[in-house]
Homo-oligomer: A and B are copies of this chain.
Amino acid sequence: MAVGDLQMPVMQPVQGVRIGIAESYIRYQNRRDLVVFELAEGSTTAAVFTQNSFCAAPVLVAREHLGLNSPRYLVINTGNANAGTGPQGLKNANASCEALAALTQTQSNQILPFSTGVIGEQLPIDRLVAGLPAALKALDENAWTEAAHGIMTTDTLPKGASEILMLNGDTYTITGISKGAGMIRPNMATMLSFVATDAPIARDVLQTLLTNAVNQSFNRITIDGDTSTNDACVLVATGKAGGDVLSSVTDNRYSDFEAAFNRVFLRLAQLIVRDGEGATKFMTVRVEGGANTQECCDVAYRVAHSPLIKTAFFASDPNWGRIVCAIGNAGVNSLDVSNVQVFLDDVQIVKDGGANPEYTEAAGAAVMAQPEIGIRISLGRGEAVDTVWTCDFSYDYVKINADYRS
> Which positions in A face B, CB cutoff 8 Å?
51-55, 83-86, 89, 118-121, 183, 186-188, 224-229, 305-308, 311-312, 314-317, 319-322, 324-329, 332, 335, 337-338, 340, 350, 352-355, 393-395, 397-399, 401-405
Contact = CB atoms under 8 A, between A and B. Distances in A.
Given A120-B355, A315-B401, 18 more contacts: A52-B325, A52-B329, A54-B324, A54-B327, A84-B350, A84-B355, A85-B354, A85-B355, A120-B354, A121-B355, A225-B305, A225-B307, A229-B328, A312-B401, A312-B402, A315-B404, A319-B405, A395-B398
A395 B52 CA distance: 29
A119 to B, nearest CB: 4
A308 to B, nearest CB: 5
Contacts of A120: 320-321, 354-355
Contact of A226 (B183, B322, B352, B393): B322
13 contacts: A51-B329, A52-B329, A84-B321, A86-B352, A121-B355, A188-B321, A188-B322, A224-B306, A229-B324, A307-B393, A314-B398, A316-B404, A395-B399
Given A52-B329, A315-B403, A84 B186 contact: no
Contact of A307 (B119, B224, B399): B224
A86 B320 contact: no
Contact of A53 (B121, B332, B398): B332
A195 B324 CA distance: 29
Q: A229, A311, A397: which has the most chain B beta carbons within 10 Å? A: A311
Contacts of A308: 183, 188, 224, 226, 401
Contact of A402 (B119, B186, B314, B324): B314
A335 B54 CA distance: 9
Instruction: Give the interface SS of chain A, mostly helix, strand, loop or mixed.
Output: loop
Contacts of A321: 83-84, 118-120, 186-188, 229
B319 A186 contact: yes
Given A54-B327, A327-B53, A328-B54, A186 B395 contact: no
Contact of A401 (B224, B225, B226, B311): B311
Contacts of A314: 398, 402
Contacts of A312: 186, 401-402
B322 A353 contact: no
B86 A397 contact: no
A340 B53 CA distance: 11
A326 B187 CA distance: 12
Contacts of A228: 325
Contact of A405 (B53, B307, B317, B395): B317
Nearest to A308: B226
A85 B352 CA distance: 10
